[in-house]
Amino acid sequence: MYKAKIKITLRKSILDPQGKAVGHSIQSLGYKNVKDTRIGKFIELEIDSKSADEAKKITDEVCSKLLANPIMEDFEFEIISLNGKSK
Amino acid sequence: MSRAKFGIIVFPGSNCDHDAYNVLKNVLKQDTEFLWHKDSTIGDRNVIVAPGGFSYGDYLRCGAIARFSNIMKDVVRFANNGGIVMGICNGFQILCEAGLLPGALLRNANLKFVCRNVTLNIENKKTIFTSSFNGSINKDKITVPVAHADGNYICTAETYDEFLANQQVLFRYEDNPNGSFENIAGIANKKGNVMGMMPHPERASEDLVGGHDGRHIFESVIQSLN
């Protein structure tokens, strides 16, 4: 078993109004050195696959087809082995 | 009798399906049926309406999950063969996610759900969806309501160049309510058989509800099939 930890963010070129609003709140808390805030999604998948490579391939496909919209979002992920852990 | 046979897709969370049905069936007296998202075919329907609402709770992204509904395979086939497909509000988001229309709809720039009447400039009156504005109606502007949180349309510069070359922008907001790129409120695909718009023409099709400008969009479609 493998776990995919996926991060999805709005593409850099796209204005993130939610991030901006939260950024303003951080500023108003007094943290003037926090310069930029971007908000995204975090998704975890548990994948029953033979190898980390296979889990990586599946995660990549699922992200491209469904979890992220390439017009507005970028994604990145890491694959962690769950083998040897009790399930 | 019109040759139009409307099919309105009902997804879990659709909430403008009955508004569209009322306009098409009771106001315009058209052959109209609901299509359930689990159906595998659109049957004999020759105009498909993807209605407004919050399909699948807007989970993940608006329209992202509805796009994989069983019926959407046949809707994509139908559209690719030149069939007429209209997406309104959430329906527009679904058609973008399904790849039937270019671009995507982001959270409104002001982060607010906007619900009010807007004025649209009709940019192209020579389409299946807008031709009646060129005839006896002769209008350059219409007033219809918007009601959405994710109507901020974006597309690439290349796509927008194509829009201009092919006159694919059908409606622009006079006063942009959501930050939409180039004030875009509604577009068509290159072939002109698939249309998506964020405003709700089905909620402005009877004087009883304050106006009937939206009705002419459906009338255009009906006329195109006669």
**Residue A47 resides in a domain:** yes
Q: Which domain holds residue A28?
A: 2-81
| CATH number of domain containing A42 | 3.30.1280.10
Question: Could you give the ipTM of this predicted complex?
Answer: 0.84
Residue A87 in domain: no
Domains detected in chain B: 5-224 (3.40.50.880)
- At B30-74, the pLDDT tens digits run 999 999 999 999 999 999 999 999 999 999 999 999 999 999 999
Model pLDDT for residues B141-170, shown as the tens digit of each residue? 999 999 999 999 999 999 999 999 999 999
Residue whose pair of structure tokens reads 């329906």 in the numeric block: B91
pLDDT digits (tens, 9 = 90+) for B83-141: 999 999 999 999 999 999 999 999 999 999 999 999 999 999 999 999 999 877 889 99
- For residues B133 and B186, the answer to whether their CB atoms sit within 8 Å is no
Which residue in A20, A45, A63, A71 has the most chain B C-beta atoms within 10 A of its own C-beta, making it the best mutation to test that interface?
A71
Residue A86 lies in a domain: no
Alpha-carbon distance B141 to B92, whole Å? 21
B213 contacts chain A (CB < 8 A): no
Q: How far apart are CA A49 and CA A47, in angstroms?
A: 6
* SS3 state at B22: helix
Q: Does some domain include residue A16?
A: yes
Tell me the shortest Cα–Cα distance from B103 to chain A, in angstroms: 7
This prediction has a pTM of 0.94
Q: Does B115 touch chain A (CB under 8 A)?
A: no
Determine, for residues B106 and A69 on separate chains, whether the beta-carbon distance falls below 8 Å. no
Among the partner-chain residues B64, B68, B111, the one whose CB lies closest to the CB of A17 is: B111
**How many structural domains is chain A composed of?**
1
